[in-house]
């Protein structure tokens, strides 16, 4: 058996070398010539999979170590009876960490107040649903809009209602067809619905927002805080827009080490089930994760002297302002596409809040509530 895989999938060699010949290639360089005699293809979001890549090859199974599948021509795979699997939900916790980091930043900059906060969640799937659950644990008001989940945990029937919250966070897949396509879902009309001093977060896909409309919107709505992790045409993104938003990051919201390990485990299970159906009662192999098993104390930084030390701790772990500043400096230097990919690679070892511990005696009960919801270990 021959397996072609993106060389940057974590634990890929140790997980798949046992099954046959494993050829590792950078994701952006995988070509049809590499797949002529391959049985399986394992990728990330940077590899476009369609007829032009697969026609005339022997590929029987494809797995993407990502939650999103907009880089895959699913209709073509179905037509050719090619097996497929994704890693949906594997990065949900990392994305939610990022969103709470944004809330922490807005609180510390006094742009919002917890007591008056309401979050509009657009998309109630794995990531949006987990975000809603953690907000509920903290007693923070929220509305979920998802036309596919009406009557099942959603709190508003219209996109317009969700857009009127003080914080709006996007968690939808990118789709171009169907009853509710999401391409350019957020355009000029929707942006104008944002209330004064609102925060807009996009961690799903860049094309969900009309970037031209966003650029025009920002010329007259200077009160809005924009936090964008995803962009149209990655890695060749609109540098001018990236330099204008408040926080710009290179598609790293879900890019934590635990999320990547979970994704590899997910596609490993799917691969085994497709090629080597398990005997009853036998569990599929799992990965010996390289992520830290021992919980780490969070760095000490912003929380010193802060009036909201528990929220500042989130930014000590996930320093969004510094990440954004360094990314923008790299973009401004003219590095372009290479800046995006190189900067993203710096965050391969990022941990999640659940990988850190908090000492009980240093915090009061109300402060510990946040850490519990975020998954910190209390010691």
Catalytic residue (one of 44, 143, 171, 251): 251
pLDDT at 178 over 50: yes
The helix (H) or strand (E) run that includes residue 62 is strand 61-64
Q: Tell me the average pLDDT across 29-39.
A: 97
Note whether 59 and 21 are within 8 A (CB).
no
pLDDT of residue 255: 92
234 flagged as catalytic? yes
Burial class of residue 272, CB neighbours in 10 A (0-12, 13-18, 19+): middle
Q: Which residues have C-beta within 8 Å of that of residue 5, sequence separation ≥ 6?
A: 12, 16, 22, 23, 24, 25, 41, 42, 43
Mode of pairing for the β-strands spanning 247-248 and 357-358: unpaired
Domains belonging to the chain, first-starting first, are: 2-86+258-275 (3.40.50.720), 92-254+318-348 (3.40.50.720), 292-317+349-379 (no CATH)
Asked whether the beta carbons of 295 and 355 are under 8 A apart, the reply is: yes
Q: Which of 44, 205, 269, 350 is catalytic?
A: 205
Q: Are 103 and 112 in contact (CB under 8 A)?
A: yes
Q: What is the pLDDT of residues 262-319, one digit of tens each?
A: 999 999 999 999 999 865 655 666 665 444 456 788 887 777 778 899 999 999 999 9
The question of whether 220 is a catalytic residue gets the answer: no
For range 167-181, the mean pLDDT: 95
Where does the pLDDT of residue 134 fall: very low under 50, low under 70, confident under 90, or very high at 90 and above?
very high
Give 182-189 contacts, CB < 8 A, sequence gap 24+: 182/208, 183/207, 183/208, 184/208, 184/209, 184/210, 184/213, 185/122, 185/159, 185/209, 186/210, 186/213, 186/214, 187/213, 188/213, 188/216, 188/217
Asked if 51 is an active-site residue, the reply is no
Edge-to-edge strands of the sheet including 40-43? 21-25, 2-6, 40-43, 61-64, 83-85
Spot the catalytic one: 211, 234, 265, 352.
234
């Amino acid at each position: 058996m021959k397996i072609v895989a993106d060389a940057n999938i974590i634990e890929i060699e140790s997980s798949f070398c046992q099954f046959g010949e494993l050829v590792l290639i950078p994701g952006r360089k995988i070509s049809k010539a590499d797949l002529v005699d391959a049985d399986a293809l394992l990728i990330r979001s940077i590899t476009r999979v369609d007829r032009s890549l697969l026609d005339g090859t022997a590929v029987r199974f494809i797995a993407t170590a990502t939650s999103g599948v907009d880089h895959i021509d699913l209709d073509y795979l179905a037509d050719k009876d090619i097996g497929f699997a994704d890693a949906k939900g594997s990065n949900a916790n990392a994305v939610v960490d990022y969103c709470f980091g944004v809330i922490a930043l807005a609180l510390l900059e006094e742009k919002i107040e917890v007591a008056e906060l309401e979050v509009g969640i657009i998309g109630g799937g794995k990531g949006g649903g987990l975000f809603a659950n953690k907000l509920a644990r903290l007693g923070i008001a929220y509305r979920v809009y998802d036309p596919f989940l009406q009557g099942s945990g959603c709190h508003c029937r219209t996109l317009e209602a969700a857009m009127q919250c003080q914080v709006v966070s996007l968690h939808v897949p990118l789709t171009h067809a169907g009853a509710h396509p999401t391409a350019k879902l957020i355009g000029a009309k929707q942006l104008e619905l944002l209330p004064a001093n609102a925060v807009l977060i996009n961690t799903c896909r860049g094309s969900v927002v009309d970037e031209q409309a966003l650029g025009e919107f920002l010329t007259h709505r200077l009160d809005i805080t924009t936090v964008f992790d995803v962009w149209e045409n990655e890695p060749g993104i609109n540098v001018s827009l990236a330099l204008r938003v408040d926080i710009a990051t290179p598609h790293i919201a879900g890019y934590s080490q635990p999320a990547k390990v979970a994704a590899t485990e997910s596609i490993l299970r799917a691969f085994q089930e497709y090629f080597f159906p398990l005997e009853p009662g036998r569990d599929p192999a799992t990965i010996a994760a390289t992520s830290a098993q021992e919980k780490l104390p969070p760095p000490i930084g912003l929380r010193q002297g802060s009036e909201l030390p528990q929220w500042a701790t989130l930014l000590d772990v996930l320093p969004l302002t510094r990440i954004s500043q360094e990314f923008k400096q790299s973009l401004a230097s003219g590095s372009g596409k290479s800046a995006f990919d190189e900067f993203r690679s710096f965050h391969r070892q990022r941990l999640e809040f659940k990988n850190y511990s908090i000492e009980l005696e240093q915090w009061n009960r109300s402060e510990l509530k946040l850490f519990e919801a975020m998954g910190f270990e209390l010691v």
